[in-house]
Amino acid sequence: MICLVCSFTAFSQEQATSKDSTSSYKINTVFGSGHKGCKIPFGYFIQFDAGYTKFGHHNVFLPEISMGMILNHNWSVGMTGSFIGNPQGLSFHHTTTDSTGQQTKDYKYLKGGFGGALLEYTLFPRSMVHVSFPLMIGMGYLYWDYAKHSTPGTSGSTFYHHNTYGTAFFVIEPGVKAELNLSKMFRLGLTVSYRWAPDPDIRYASDGLINQFNIKLGLKFGKF
Protein backbone atom coordinates (compact mmCIF):
# COMPACT_ATOMS: atom_id res chain seq x y z
CA MET A 1 0.00 0.00 0.00
CA ILE A 2 2.90 2.37 0.84
CA CYS A 3 4.52 1.69 -2.54
CA LEU A 4 1.20 2.28 -4.32
CA VAL A 5 0.63 5.66 -2.61
CA CYS A 6 4.18 6.79 -3.36
CA SER A 7 3.91 5.81 -7.00
CA PHE A 8 0.53 7.63 -7.39
CA THR A 9 1.99 10.83 -5.84
CA ALA A 10 4.94 10.77 -8.22
CA PHE A 11 2.63 10.21 -11.21
CA SER A 12 0.39 13.15 -10.17
CA GLN A 13 3.37 15.48 -9.91
CA GLU A 14 4.51 14.42 -13.35
CA GLN A 15 1.07 15.05 -14.86
CA ALA A 16 0.83 18.55 -13.34
CA THR A 17 4.31 19.38 -14.67
CA SER A 18 3.41 18.25 -18.16
CA LYS A 19 0.16 20.21 -18.06
CA ASP A 20 1.96 23.35 -16.90
CA SER A 21 4.26 23.08 -19.87
CA THR A 22 1.40 23.04 -22.40
CA SER A 23 -0.49 26.12 -23.56
CA SER A 24 -3.88 24.53 -22.83
CA TYR A 25 -3.41 24.88 -19.08
CA LYS A 26 -3.75 28.62 -18.32
CA ILE A 27 -5.08 30.79 -15.53
CA ASN A 28 -7.76 33.24 -16.71
CA THR A 29 -6.74 36.80 -15.83
CA VAL A 30 -8.03 40.26 -16.68
CA PHE A 31 -4.68 41.48 -17.97
CA GLY A 32 -1.97 39.47 -19.67
CA SER A 33 -0.45 38.39 -22.93
CA GLY A 34 -2.98 35.59 -23.30
CA HIS A 35 -5.75 38.05 -24.24
CA LYS A 36 -6.24 39.10 -27.82
CA GLY A 37 -8.35 42.08 -26.68
CA CYS A 38 -10.60 43.42 -23.97
CA LYS A 39 -13.47 41.11 -23.13
CA ILE A 40 -15.79 43.98 -22.07
CA PRO A 41 -17.78 45.37 -25.02
CA PHE A 42 -17.40 49.12 -25.43
CA GLY A 43 -19.81 51.54 -27.06
CA TYR A 44 -20.51 55.25 -27.19
CA PHE A 45 -23.49 57.59 -27.23
CA ILE A 46 -24.50 61.18 -27.93
CA GLN A 47 -27.88 62.37 -26.68
CA PHE A 48 -29.92 65.54 -27.23
CA ASP A 49 -32.78 66.35 -24.86
CA ALA A 50 -35.53 68.94 -24.78
CA GLY A 51 -36.39 69.45 -21.12
CA TYR A 52 -39.18 71.20 -19.29
CA THR A 53 -39.13 72.31 -15.66
CA LYS A 54 -40.25 75.16 -13.42
CA PHE A 55 -38.24 77.72 -11.48
CA GLY A 56 -40.74 78.87 -8.91
CA HIS A 57 -43.88 79.64 -10.95
CA HIS A 58 -41.92 80.26 -14.18
CA ASN A 59 -41.92 77.72 -17.01
CA VAL A 60 -38.38 76.89 -18.11
CA PHE A 61 -37.10 75.24 -21.29
CA LEU A 62 -33.87 73.30 -20.71
CA PRO A 63 -31.93 72.10 -23.78
CA GLU A 64 -29.45 69.40 -22.84
CA ILE A 65 -26.60 67.49 -24.48
CA SER A 66 -24.92 64.36 -23.13
CA MET A 67 -22.12 62.14 -24.39
CA GLY A 68 -19.97 59.33 -23.12
CA MET A 69 -19.13 55.64 -23.41
CA ILE A 70 -21.11 52.46 -22.75
CA LEU A 71 -19.61 49.50 -20.88
CA ASN A 72 -21.00 46.00 -21.31
CA HIS A 73 -24.27 47.41 -22.82
CA ASN A 74 -25.58 48.32 -19.33
CA TRP A 75 -23.38 51.03 -17.84
CA SER A 76 -23.06 54.49 -19.36
CA VAL A 77 -20.43 56.95 -18.13
CA GLY A 78 -20.08 60.45 -19.52
CA MET A 79 -20.79 64.16 -19.20
CA THR A 80 -23.98 66.18 -19.52
CA GLY A 81 -24.93 69.85 -19.54
CA SER A 82 -28.12 71.96 -19.59
CA PHE A 83 -28.80 75.66 -19.92
CA ILE A 84 -31.83 77.95 -19.63
CA GLY A 85 -33.31 78.20 -23.10
CA ASN A 86 -35.88 80.93 -22.44
CA PRO A 87 -34.27 83.59 -20.21
CA GLN A 88 -36.87 86.14 -21.30
CA GLY A 89 -39.43 84.12 -19.37
CA LEU A 90 -37.41 84.41 -16.15
CA SER A 91 -37.41 88.15 -15.67
CA PHE A 92 -38.78 90.92 -13.55
CA HIS A 93 -38.78 94.64 -14.23
CA HIS A 94 -40.04 97.93 -12.85
CA THR A 95 -40.46 101.42 -14.26
CA THR A 96 -39.65 104.72 -12.59
CA THR A 97 -40.19 108.34 -13.72
CA ASP A 98 -38.25 111.24 -12.22
CA SER A 99 -39.25 114.91 -11.88
CA THR A 100 -37.86 115.80 -15.33
CA GLY A 101 -40.06 113.26 -17.05
CA GLN A 102 -37.28 110.77 -17.75
CA GLN A 103 -38.61 107.24 -17.66
CA THR A 104 -36.33 104.38 -16.70
CA LYS A 105 -37.15 100.70 -17.08
CA ASP A 106 -35.03 98.15 -15.22
CA TYR A 107 -35.01 94.53 -16.38
CA LYS A 108 -33.33 91.48 -14.89
CA TYR A 109 -33.16 88.12 -16.71
CA LEU A 110 -32.03 84.89 -15.06
CA LYS A 111 -29.50 83.02 -17.22
CA GLY A 112 -27.01 80.19 -16.85
CA GLY A 113 -27.00 76.42 -16.63
CA PHE A 114 -25.58 73.35 -14.92
CA GLY A 115 -23.93 70.04 -15.73
CA GLY A 116 -21.43 67.45 -14.63
CA ALA A 117 -20.68 63.74 -14.57
CA LEU A 118 -23.35 61.33 -15.81
CA LEU A 119 -23.72 57.73 -14.61
CA GLU A 120 -26.54 55.57 -15.98
CA TYR A 121 -27.54 51.93 -15.62
CA THR A 122 -29.83 50.30 -18.21
CA LEU A 123 -31.97 47.22 -17.56
CA PHE A 124 -32.37 44.82 -20.51
CA PRO A 125 -30.79 47.14 -23.11
CA ARG A 126 -31.47 44.68 -25.95
CA SER A 127 -35.23 44.82 -25.37
CA MET A 128 -37.28 47.05 -27.64
CA VAL A 129 -38.56 48.99 -24.60
CA HIS A 130 -36.34 49.20 -21.53
CA VAL A 131 -35.72 51.28 -18.43
CA SER A 132 -32.59 53.08 -17.27
CA PHE A 133 -31.62 55.09 -14.20
CA PRO A 134 -29.49 58.19 -14.92
CA LEU A 135 -27.69 60.16 -12.22
CA MET A 136 -26.04 63.54 -12.77
CA ILE A 137 -23.66 65.08 -10.20
CA GLY A 138 -22.05 68.41 -10.94
CA MET A 139 -22.04 72.18 -10.63
CA GLY A 140 -24.16 75.04 -11.92
CA TYR A 141 -23.94 78.77 -12.38
CA LEU A 142 -26.84 81.24 -12.58
CA TYR A 143 -26.71 85.00 -12.92
CA TRP A 144 -28.96 87.97 -13.51
CA ASP A 145 -28.48 89.87 -16.76
CA TYR A 146 -29.29 93.42 -15.74
CA ALA A 147 -30.64 95.77 -18.41
CA LYS A 148 -31.73 99.40 -18.19
CA HIS A 149 -33.60 101.43 -20.78
CA SER A 150 -33.83 105.19 -20.19
CA THR A 151 -36.06 107.52 -22.23
CA PRO A 152 -35.45 111.24 -21.63
CA GLY A 153 -38.45 113.55 -21.48
CA THR A 154 -37.34 115.39 -24.65
CA SER A 155 -35.87 113.02 -27.23
CA GLY A 156 -33.51 110.09 -27.58
CA SER A 157 -32.94 107.08 -25.37
CA THR A 158 -30.12 105.07 -23.85
CA PHE A 159 -29.83 101.34 -23.30
CA TYR A 160 -27.19 99.25 -21.61
CA HIS A 161 -26.87 95.90 -19.86
CA HIS A 162 -24.35 93.92 -17.85
CA ASN A 163 -24.13 90.68 -15.90
CA THR A 164 -24.48 90.81 -12.16
CA TYR A 165 -25.40 88.81 -9.04
CA GLY A 166 -24.01 85.48 -10.24
CA THR A 167 -23.69 82.40 -8.04
CA ALA A 168 -22.23 78.89 -8.38
CA PHE A 169 -23.81 75.87 -6.71
CA PHE A 170 -23.61 72.11 -6.34
CA VAL A 171 -26.38 70.11 -8.03
CA ILE A 172 -27.46 66.46 -8.15
CA GLU A 173 -30.19 65.04 -10.38
CA PRO A 174 -31.37 61.40 -10.20
CA GLY A 175 -34.01 60.14 -12.58
CA VAL A 176 -35.72 57.26 -14.36
CA LYS A 177 -35.92 56.91 -18.12
CA ALA A 178 -38.03 54.78 -20.50
CA GLU A 179 -36.31 54.14 -23.83
CA LEU A 180 -37.48 52.76 -27.16
CA ASN A 181 -35.03 51.18 -29.59
CA LEU A 182 -35.89 52.76 -32.95
CA SER A 183 -32.97 51.03 -34.67
CA LYS A 184 -29.56 49.61 -33.81
CA MET A 185 -28.12 53.12 -33.54
CA PHE A 186 -31.08 55.27 -32.44
CA ARG A 187 -33.12 55.38 -29.26
CA LEU A 188 -35.98 57.62 -28.16
CA GLY A 189 -36.24 58.31 -24.44
CA LEU A 190 -38.57 59.96 -21.94
CA THR A 191 -37.00 60.94 -18.61
CA VAL A 192 -38.48 62.07 -15.32
CA SER A 193 -35.92 63.42 -12.84
CA TYR A 194 -35.58 65.63 -9.81
CA ARG A 195 -32.98 68.39 -9.60
CA TRP A 196 -31.68 69.28 -6.12
CA ALA A 197 -29.26 72.06 -5.21
CA PRO A 198 -28.63 72.71 -1.50
CA ASP A 199 -29.35 76.39 -0.79
CA PRO A 200 -27.92 78.26 -3.79
CA ASP A 201 -27.60 81.96 -2.97
CA ILE A 202 -29.53 83.49 -5.86
CA ARG A 203 -30.46 87.11 -5.23
CA TYR A 204 -34.07 88.14 -5.97
CA ALA A 205 -35.06 84.44 -5.96
CA SER A 206 -36.85 82.39 -3.35
CA ASP A 207 -35.21 79.46 -1.55
CA GLY A 208 -35.54 76.20 -3.43
CA LEU A 209 -36.07 77.97 -6.75
CA ILE A 210 -34.35 75.29 -8.83
CA ASN A 211 -35.25 72.26 -6.70
CA GLN A 212 -37.84 70.95 -9.13
CA PHE A 213 -38.99 67.94 -11.16
CA ASN A 214 -38.02 67.75 -14.83
CA ILE A 215 -39.44 66.06 -17.91
CA LYS A 216 -37.14 65.41 -20.87
CA LEU A 217 -37.70 64.02 -24.34
CA GLY A 218 -34.44 62.88 -25.92
CA LEU A 219 -32.91 61.26 -28.97
CA LYS A 220 -29.81 59.14 -28.43
CA PHE A 221 -27.60 57.70 -31.10
CA GLY A 222 -24.40 55.70 -30.94
CA LYS A 223 -23.05 52.17 -30.64
CA PHE A 224 -25.03 50.38 -27.96
Per-residue pLDDT of the chain (224 residues; tens, 9 = 90+): 555 445 545 544 444 444 444 444 444 444 455 555 557 789 999 999 999 999 878 899 999 999 999 999 999 999 999 999 987 777 766 666 766 766 666 777 888 999 999 999 999 998 999 999 999 999 999 888 876 666 655 445 555 556 577 889 999 999 999 999 999 999 999 999 999 998 777 776 777 788 999 999 999 999 99
Using DSSP bridges, classify how beta strands 158-181 and 91-97 pair: parallel, antiparallel or unpaired: unpaired
d(C-alpha 85, C-alpha 31), whole Å: 47
Amino acid 24: pLDDT: 47
Query: pTM here?
Result: 0.71
Residue 125 CB contacts under 8 Å (≥ 6 apart), including other chains: 73, 74, 132, 224
Amino acid 200: pLDDT: 75
- Angle 145-147-148 from CA coordinates, rounded to 5°: 160
Task: Please choose, from the candidates 104, 110, 60, the residue with its C-alpha nearest in 3D space to the C-alpha of residue 85.
Answer: 60
- Domains of the chain by start residue, with CATH: 43-223 (2.40.160.20)
